[in-house]
Structure 1
Amino acid sequence: MRVLQFSALVVVALLAFAKSHGTIGIPKPEHIEQNPAAIVETPPVVPLPVPYAGSFSLPIDHSGSHPGNFSNRYWVQDHYYKPGGPIFVYDPAEADGAWFLAHLAERRTFFNKYLEEFSGMGIIWEHRYYGESSPFPINLDTTAEQMQYLTNENSLKDFVVFANQFQWKSLGVSPKQVPWIVIGSSYGGTRAATLRELYPETVFAAYASSAIVQHQKDMSVYYEQVYRGMVHYGLKNCTSYIKKAVDYVDIQLSHPTTAAGIKRQYLGRTVEENSNAGFAVTFAAPYQMFQVDGVDEVLRQFCNYMDAVKPPREESKQGAFYSDRWAAWPLHAELVSRYNGDGKNYCEGPVRNDYKTPNCRLDGRTSHPTMISWTWQSCTEFGFFHPTNVGPHALSSRYNSLQYHQDNCYRQFPDGRSSGLLPAEPQTEKLNAVTGGWNMRPSRVFWTAGQWDPWTALSIFSSEPGAPSIRVTDRPSRECNRRESGRNQEVFGYLLPNSEHSYDFYTGEKRAKKPNAMFAAALRQWLKCFRAGSMSDGN
């Protein structure tokens, strides 16, 4: 489902996935001093069986243009399963599927609780070209000819083929015999809803959390939504400091005589070797994790720091004042180094460090396999480029342009254009025509999103220009075979207040309880509609 560059975009996505799906950031019990006599013993939690790890052979290209096959990983937990029960599939999307085994191995996750309540079987399905489910090694030497089979269509058909051919202990588990339910968040949520939309005979129901349904090249609205969230959380003054600072920086960058100096003031030696655009994207560093944590400790600290000293009264001097404050913020260079260049770069910042050689490289290609694959998907079909939200609410330099992000595609895949396999721009309209985009209305789908999640702007809940008006209902349709359409503007879902990306999938998150329970209640109703062998129930 993300920024400084494409690489940083995926870093944020991976951190969001890891936190939301229980691999990091899980609340731990605080140490409390107690009288030993007052301690009440509780029965130990019985561990679940280790999930079964398998692989499934799939064609590299479902259209048949490539004759080879590859192995796609999956994992299964059948501890709770009773014959005839539903199959729950968790789709981790653009990530290593093994990261999410907690959903099959730990009782505390919301996914595992569904398995227990509905006597279901749990499966984690790894996306092609991620984790260890790739037909080719993914690195800087991977060619466009090898990447070309990473398409939305191929990845969806992978799952459909698997679901219809999956066998388990001589039980009847095909989509014709038992209901298959797909659950995912962010890009995984998009996939869950799209599978239900395009392959209703395979996918009986879906839970689509923070799903992005409208694909578009220009997603500068990402930063506009960050701005709205910061204002809502009481940081409007901070957004004005940012705007004044970046406007001043843009003036400095526009002159060759001052461009190198302003770059060095922020990030130190060697940064002047980068383009203005490469430098410009680093201004997202303070709010880089907004979609994961909202106003986190870093952003709050940054805003407090910017607010700690009174600016000069003259308006004309405030831009330079706030730029100087920002450049001197101790965490800025550290954050840029952390989020840029796969973590291998070092930007020393304004204070010279003679004990470490700076290597502040901002315009390079990413070498991280996950990031390479996501960049290909973004460049060919999805878009989701993050240029600055130019205008009164701008949170970054105007040099962070749409063209810069498009050029990143050409830079990352140098043989892409010459081979004819990398399009001149992402084919977003073509993809929206297939999926329905904002007008996607599959039945038996539960939609959720965070009120201030930057990705909500392209979700089913969007209120952006061009998005259709919808009415959100907390009651699922009682009609078993009702088929929705783009003209039906009633959506079964829940917009999580004061929340960001995929919060309803966070382990231990109080705000997740209501939407998790809403989906369970809907399933109790929907499952009554399933009749084994009746293909009409998929519609």
Structure 2
Amino acid sequence: MFFSLPALGVLCCGLKMISAIRVAHHDPTQIFLEADPDKRIDVSAPKVSVSPVFIDIPLDHAAKNPMASTFPNRFYVKADWYKRGGPVFLYDGGEGAADDYWIQSAPNEEYKNLSFFEKFLKDHGGLGIVWEHRYYGESLPRGMNLTRSNENDFRYLTTQQALADVDYFAKNYKGSGKIFDNVDLSPRKTPWIFIGCSYPGSRAALMRVAYPDTIFASYAASAPVQAVVDMPAYFEPIWAGLRKYGFANCTADMHMAISAIDNRIDKGEASAFQIKQQLLGCTNPPMSNSNFANRLAGLWDSWQGRGIKPDPDEGWPRPGLQHMCNNVSYDPETQKYSDARGWAAVHKDGVNFTLRRLASWPEFKQQAGFSKGKNVKCPASPPSAPFTCVPDRDVDDISWKYQYCTEWGYLQVANIGDSQIVSKFRDLNFFRQQCLCQFKSSGGKRAIPNTPKVELLNQQYGGWNMRPSRTFWTVGEFDPWKSSSPLKVNNHTIPECDASTAAGAPLFGHVLRDNQHCGDFNNTNPQAVVAHELFSNALKQWLCCFVKSHKDSLNEGAKKVLCPSA
């Protein structure tokens, strides 16, 4: 996932729920389904549950004997729509525990409520797989207590190793059931199609770069393929989106409020204590300036997944930015809302009025993660507040932190300038301290670099400059991650099968208007329908190319399923 520190996959991959390490030995040749895939299921039938399956994967693909040390990698399979010879669709779970929910978004409901992923399976006679990334969920190395955050235990958690996992799996996977008898599911005879959003979307594109003979085509949604150390651009689409949606007054006020907070912190410890106390009603235990700034940045977390809307799930304390902006922009004395200039620029109390309105928002402390919304006793005098580190304890959170601390970066520092909405004290040093605090060295040599090695990653896979063929891209108009995506404009022209996009030319893809992150993984979104149809139509052409290029080695019945028009 999605967060007080960088996270990509919360929307597409769910919350990270694992609380203990559970590993066991699994036979990689034994693949089980609860449903008999040989039985065709009527469209009006209830959904069939999907069971988790494991396969042993080499821990180090570069070792002389890779199978000498393996780990159990979890995945889920759905074969209800599979037709002999059809393609394999792999949905990547990314930086979180995988779940069959991503195959069937509405269990126990009728098939008319297909998830977007299952619609692809139905339309193309495909086999559906949800893949769990190494070091997440239950796909964990044996014999390691990862919650201790020993750097040595994470040394095999690299982008290169994780991509190699998918290559190994595709070449070794055997289906279970009569429908798979005499069917070769390897990429030699079966096209594999990789689908992912956010970090998994990046992996979709990277697989086409690193393993073009394994992954035949990819759907790279909201894919931030350019690794960057510092990412102030994350907050620019939030500013732009709020203004387009009619909340220019809110952006103006929040900009001036953050500027005022930074100015008061700059004046010294006593002044910093005063502004923290004004907003929180407390600062006990002591809170450093960077920790305070980091918590304030949490006000914007909900934008990535929902824009200005509240979370529809009952009980989740995320009321939405519209609720916050309405509170900040309302004057209870005059019962009026501010105009586009905001109150800070025109009110008799200036920015102090805006700060009071922010602090009075009932959800302020909860949304920003302060004391779970509860006050605590304040100290009598300004405390000394050094940097505070609270290490993550959830394995999924720790694993993602290792990835961005070592390779991907994505450190969402303040966007200093005219559109600044995050305190300048959320800086690179803050994130550096978080990385060092989390991971303990082994043998005296630190595995955590001073800054993430983003240059190596971009050189290896291309970053913004990658142009893999048979890859479809999407990005939201107001996606906070759009600065690391190479997709800039709509281009609905389906490329020829093996055509790579020329440098500087538009990529094949769709920019989702008025959308944020991973909006095309929602069937109710009209922009998602456009994207799905584009990709499905492209697949119809590309799969015919697979038939032509593999005509002497196709599975029985594959031609009819992959290219009905031939």
- TM-score norm. by structure 1 comes to 0.84
In structure 2, relative to structure 1, the CA distance for the partners of 1:511 and 1:329 (3 Å cut) is same
Q: Is the 8 A contact 2:173 2:186 kept in 1?
A: yes
* 1:160 corresponds to 2:170: no
Q: Is the 8 A contact 2:523 2:529 kept in 1?
A: no
Q: Aligned residue for 1:333?
A: 365
SS at 2:190's partner residue? Answer: coil
- Partner Cα distance (2:455, 2:464) in 1: 12
Q: Aligned residue for 2:36?
A: none
- Partner Cα distance (2:553, 2:285) in 1: 63
The amino acid of 1:305's aligned partner reads: N
TM-superposed CA distance for 1:321, in Å, is 2.5
Match of 1:473 among 483, 491, 499: 491
* 1:56 corresponds to 2:55: yes
Identity of aligned residues (%): 33
Q: Aligned residue for 1:4?
A: 4
Q: Is the 8 A contact 2:92 2:195 kept in 1?
A: yes
- Partner Cα distance (1:205, 1:366) in 2: 36
The amino acid of 2:224's aligned partner reads: I
Q: Aligned residue for 1:468?
A: none
Q: Aligned residue for 2:189?
A: 177
In structure 2, relative to structure 1, the CA distance for the partners of 1:226 and 1:535 (3 Å cut) is farther
Q: Aligned residue for 1:232?
A: 244
In structure 2, relative to structure 1, the CA distance for the partners of 1:104 and 1:239 (3 Å cut) is closer
- Partner Cα distance (1:290, 1:480) in 2: 37
- TM-score norm. by structure 2 comes to 0.80
The amino acid of 1:94's aligned partner reads: E
Deviates more, 1:428-437 or 1:487-496: 487-496
- Partner Cα distance (1:535, 1:256) in 2: 75
Pairwise CA RMSD: 2.8
- Partner Cα distance (1:386, 1:93) in 2: 20
* 1:278 corresponds to 2:278: no
Q: Aligned residue for 1:450?
A: 476
Q: Aligned residue for 1:37?
A: none
Alignment: residue pair count: 486
SS at 1:473's partner residue? Answer: coil
Structure 2: unaligned runs, 5 residues or longer: 16-41, 311-319, 332-337, 379-386, 555-566
* 1:403 corresponds to 2:416: no
Q: Aligned residue for 1:493?
A: 509
Q: Aligned residue for 1:120?
A: 126
- Partner Cα distance (1:270, 1:515) in 2: 48
- Partner Cα distance (2:351, 2:360) in 1: 14
The superposition leaves residues 89-114 of structure 1 with CA deviations (integer Å, 9 ceiling, x where unpaired) of 11111111125344388541111111
TM-superposed CA distance for 1:490, in Å, is 2.9
In structure 2, relative to structure 1, the CA distance for the partners of 1:380 and 1:124 (3 Å cut) is same
- Partner Cα distance (2:508, 2:345) in 1: 52
In structure 2, relative to structure 1, the CA distance for the partners of 1:318 and 1:488 (3 Å cut) is closer
SS at 1:513's partner residue? Answer: helix
Within a 5 Å distance, the mapping from 1:157-306 to structure 2 comes to: 157-168=164-175, 169-170=180-181, 171-254=183-266, 255-271=268-284, 273-297=286-310, 298-306=320-328
In structure 2, relative to structure 1, the CA distance for the partners of 1:436 and 1:73 (3 Å cut) is same
In structure 2, relative to structure 1, the CA distance for the partners of 1:313 and 1:183 (3 Å cut) is closer
SS at 2:54's partner residue? Answer: strand
* 1:511 corresponds to 2:511: no
SS at 1:75's partner residue? Answer: strand
Q: Aligned residue for 1:103?
A: 104
TM-superposed CA distance for 1:510, in Å, is 2.8
The amino acid of 2:61's aligned partner reads: H
- Partner Cα distance (2:388, 2:10) in 1: 20
Q: Is the 8 A contact 1:114 1:120 kept in 2?
A: yes
SS at 1:227's partner residue? Answer: helix
The superposition leaves residues 336-390 of structure 1 with CA deviations (integer Å, 9 ceiling, x where unpaired) of 33xx7xxxx54524999xxxxxxxx964111121111110000000000011101
Deviates more, 1:276-285 or 1:492-501: 276-285
Within a 5 Å distance, the mapping from 1:432-443 to structure 2 comes to: 432-443=458-469
